[in-house]
Amino acid sequence: MTNIHLNKILILDFGSQYTQLIARRVREIGVYCELLPYDIGDDFIKDFNPKGIILSGGPDAVTLDNSAKAPNIVFELGVPVLGICYGMQTMATQLGGQAISADKHEYGFAQIKCEDNQCYLLSELRDDTHNITKHALLDVWMSHGIKVSALPEGFKLIASTDNCAIAGFADEKKHYYGLQFHPEVTHTKQGKHILERFVVGICRCEKKWTTDNIIANLIQNLKKQIGKSNVLLGLSGGVDSSVVAALLHQAIGAQLTCVFVDNGLLRLNEGDEVMQTFANNMGVKVIRANAQKKFYDALSNEDKPEAKRKIIGHAFIEVFEQEARKLDNIKFLAQGTIYPDVIESAGAVSGKAKVIKSHHNVGGLPKELKFKLVEPLKELFKDEVRQIGVKLGIPAHILYRHPFPGPGLGVRILGQVKQEYAGILRLADAIFIQELYNHNLYNKVNQAFSVFLPIKSVGVTGDERRYDYVIALRAVETIDFMTARWARLPYDFLDFVSNRIINEIPRISRVVYDVSGKPPATIEWE
């Protein structure tokens, strides 16, 4: 079997908002990589045995005395190193160069001029194909207020801009490279080619990280880990748990039992769809736990968002535990943990990230159940999980539908959650999503949903006065969900959806559209 971890790149994270994008781009090239805090420790870096190291960007100022620095071992291993933005600046200062505060900051689009010295990393790449100049020009994305002012000994200039005399440098004997711009973002048009030249051409990594190889490795590892034992999985119907269910079913068949907790906070007909897809079509053993009353009762007197999340999480664990105790010989508990979850749990970089909202899974089960964890997706990003799902035959409407919060409609109903409110919201949301599909808009936005507002508004239906609830529609465009802008959906479309919702759902008198970006708003309302 192919060793998909043999060739690997280590990415040291200095806190950039784009760091996970670097890892995703390296994976897309076909090479395994891991993302770790810059201060992970010399022994770990040495034992990791990377074929190359990438130093990410970050918010720190390299000109400060206590600024973050790359571990010295990075420059002692004899492997290629690529510094991006802050990573370039700290590489320069640590190796004897200098950096200063820039007179003119650069945030956003910029054009770099490639120098004539033909550095392999940038040679023969250009975006100015319609108006070719002496020096090749590349369209890139900048984000910096500090710039390298003097090169370390042995380095040469490979790129510059009008505002940044040293936008790229290289010591090709040692295979050290620095780029002030961000090759990992899509705005840098040649970014993937640049990263591929570093990872494959300079680091000599083979492209072993492919969907087929990943699936083969996962199935073999699952068989080895589980043996003849039985496995329990909490199946939500979301992307991650669905792919885990399909993987385990292929690896161990009847040894898998799934518990689907129907909490009454799901989308319209979602419970029936989960049972149809997995139990009826794929032959997976699924137990449907109908616990709607339990969840509504637990939420009856609570209106605070964070408290609602915790109530839903605790109720889920209680129901899941009850179902687990009914089963015999369960040794393993499977979870849909993915790589971003691992990164966040590890508190990458500083561990100082503030909690915006809590999440829940089945991690709070009593220890006396003595389950061992199975987390087959913990090395994978969401896009990689989806690609595996396609290969395993999971329907596209499950794999590629918009994100849905773990607490479900419980955090899309503002304030107190009632069964009546959930029923109204389900119908409104179904209309909104259905019409996005009908008008070929669903895949042009990254997340869309409806929100129930527990306030009443005066309206007119026919000749009668109506005094009923308000529905807010939300649709956003985003790359990484860390920032987002509200989607500019056509007015005619919004008019059509609003009319359908008000005309077809008796308890709604008004529909509004959310035009808040993230930041300052969050994508979800609670």
Reduce the DSSP state of residue 47 to 3 states and report it: helix
Euclidean distance between CA atoms 465 and 110, whole angstroms: 57
**Is residue 497 within 8 Å of residue 435, measured between CB atoms?**
yes
Helical residues (DSSP H) of 53-137, grouped into ranges = 86-94
> Hey, what amino acid is at 381?
F
Whether a cis peptide bond, with omega within 30° of 0, leads into 520 is yes
Amino acid identity at 67: S
> What is the separation, in whole angstroms, between the first and last Cα of the chain?
46
CB neighbours of residue 162 within 10 Å: 12
Structure-block tokens of residue 97: 């160069």
Distance CA 238, CA 245 (A): 11
Residue with tokens 């899309």: 412
State both tokens at 121: 């990393």
Cβ atoms of 362 and 314 closer than 8 Å? no
Strands (E), 352-463: 372-374, 447-461
Q: Using an 8 Å Cβ cutoff, are 314 and 221 in contact? A: no
Instruction: Confirm if 504 and 427 have CB atoms less than 8 A apart.
Output: yes
Asked if 115 and 159 count as a contact pair (C-beta separation under 8 A), the reply is yes
Q: From CA 228, how far away is CA 251, in angstroms rounded?
A: 11
Neighbours of 436 (CB within 10 A): 22
Per-residue CA distances from 494 to 404, 439, 509, 511 (Å): 22, 11, 15, 9
Amino acid at 212: D
On whether the CB atoms of residues 48 and 8 are closer than 8 A, the answer is: yes
The 10 Å CB-count burial string (b at 16+, else e) for 234-263 is bbbbbbbbbbbbbbbbbbbeebbbbbbbbb
366: three-class secondary structure by DSSP? coil
| Axis crossing angle, helix 382-391 with helix 239-252, rounded to the nearest 10 | 50
Contact (Cβ atoms closer than 8 angstroms) between residue 381 and residue 278: no
User: Catalytic site residues?
Assistant: 85, 182, 184
Where does residue 351 fall: left (phi above 0), alpha (psi -120 to 50 degrees), or beta otherwise? left
Beta strands in 299-395 (DSSP E): 330-334, 372-374
Place of tokens 């527990």: 454
